[in-house]
Amino acid sequence: MPAWQRTVYVCLFGAFLSATGMSQIAPILPLYLHDLGLSDSAEVAYWSGLAMGITYVIVALVSPFWGRLADKKGRKLILLRASFGMMLCNLLIGFVHTPLQLVLVRMAQGLVSGFFSGSITLVASETPENRTGWALGLLVSSNLAGSLLGPLIGGYLAGIFGIRITFFITATCLGLAFLLVLFFVHENYKPQPKALPKGFKELKKQLPYFKELTIIAVSTFIYAMSMMSLQPIITVYLHDIMPPNTPHLALIAGFVFSSTGIAQMLSSSFCGKLIDRIGPRKILIASLLFTAIITVPQAYVTSAWQLAVLRFLMGFGLAGLLPALNTYISTHTPKALSGQVFSYNQSTQFLGYFLGSVGGATFMGLFGFTALFWATAGLFFLNSLWVYAKLK
């Protein structure tokens, strides 16, 4: 097996474990806060939101620093740092005794996170250009699989072993990812620290496609914000359209929520191969248009299965977005600067996640569900027109 291919497979496994470690806390966090002494529902909701959201904000702020370090010291080092750091953070979460301690450790987790973004940079720089779309498509699928299965795995392990032991098991898996990267990932990249720009203005001067990369960053932001604006309100939306006192509403909402990710996971590899064949620009435009079209009917569904089908179809559109965006960055950025460019792009993505989760609920409260779906579709449609007109 070629060294670059072995690197891809190790990064796939590590990205899956990293995403699992980040997402497995979601269903057990309120229960854990209850074990830490909170009993009031409002307090549990407040500390849960703070513990979840703070990680996104910190990742957005520190990503450019890690990206510059990746270009300066090498990309493999970033994967080692992220896997080892997240291992320690999960161990620490298992030992906290107050909600404040939990939030502080989640802040630290945001500081050291970045395995997926580091994997994108490493895979993009090590993979032959004609296989980049395929490799990045698989990487997105692996990350999605971890995000989808993480809550299920976390809930299952917590039910068998207890909540604290769950974090120790996750830490062990991340330790395994650290060892795999250490011994099996090969990097050909030769850092040239003296040749690297020292700030954003200097970086901008060394990017021949800076305007195009700005469009990609904005598209990434719109993708993240649009995704997160809808996800938190799915359960509330289902509660409104389904008969009163519907049993297992949380389970139904989880199924509807997961349907999008399942479709993305199933089709990301195919979309990656298609990107290698016809280029990322066409796939990006088609994905944005398809997603815009399939979002509108979601505002008029009358049952859970209708919404689940539409969300599943939406996943096929979203499956082409991230691989196309990342492939475009990879093929239009000098290899020596790709770490910094990918990190700035990740900052816009996580900022979109944070603003989407807050702004979507606010927008829905002011204008209603129908307006939110139409606004989301409009963003995707306008983004497709902008990409078609400006991205060459």
Distance CA 222, CA 380 (A): 7
Superfamily of domain 1-183: MFS general substrate transporter like domains (1.20.1250.20)
Q: Mind listing the pLDDT tens digit of every residue in the chain (392 residues)?
A: 788 889 999 999 888 888 887 777 766 777 788 888 887 767 776 787 788 778 878 888 888 888 778 777 878 888 999 999 999 999 999 999 999 999 999 999 989 888 887 888 888 888 887 888 888 888 888 887 887 777 778 777 887 888 899 899 889 989 998 999 999 888 876 766 555 555 677 777 778 888 888 888 899 998 888 877 776 667 678 778 888 777 766 567 767 777 887 888 788 778 888 888 888 889 999 999 999 999 999 999 988 899 989 989 998 888 888 888 888 888 888 877 777 788 888 888 888 887 877 777 678 778 888 898 999 999 999 999 999 988 87
Residue 197: per-residue pLDDT: 58
Q: Does domain 200-392 have CATH number 1.20.1250.20?
A: yes
**Closest to 82 in 3D by CA, of 147, 141, 142, 17:** 17
Distance of CA 368 to the CA centre of its chain: 27
Q: Three-class SS of residue 119?
A: helix
Characterize 235-249 residue by residue with b for buried, 16 or more Cβ atoms within 10 angstroms of its Cβ, and e for exposed.
eebbeeebeeeeeee
Distance CA 171, CA 162 (A): 15
Distance CA 53, CA 29 (A): 13
Please state the length of the chain.
392
Distance CA 84, CA 21 (A): 12
Domain parsing of the chain, residue ranges: 1-183, 200-392
Cα-only R_g, the chain? 20
One fold for 1-183 and 200-392: yes
Query: What's this model's pTM, rounded to 2 decimal places?
Result: 0.74
> Do residues 227 and 318 touch, judged by C-beta distance below 8 A?
yes
- Write the CB contacts of 94 (distance below 8 Å, at least 6 apart in sequence): 164, 165, 166, 167, 168, 171
Question: How far is the CA of 1 from the CAs of 8, 131, 184, in angstroms?
Answer: 11, 15, 12
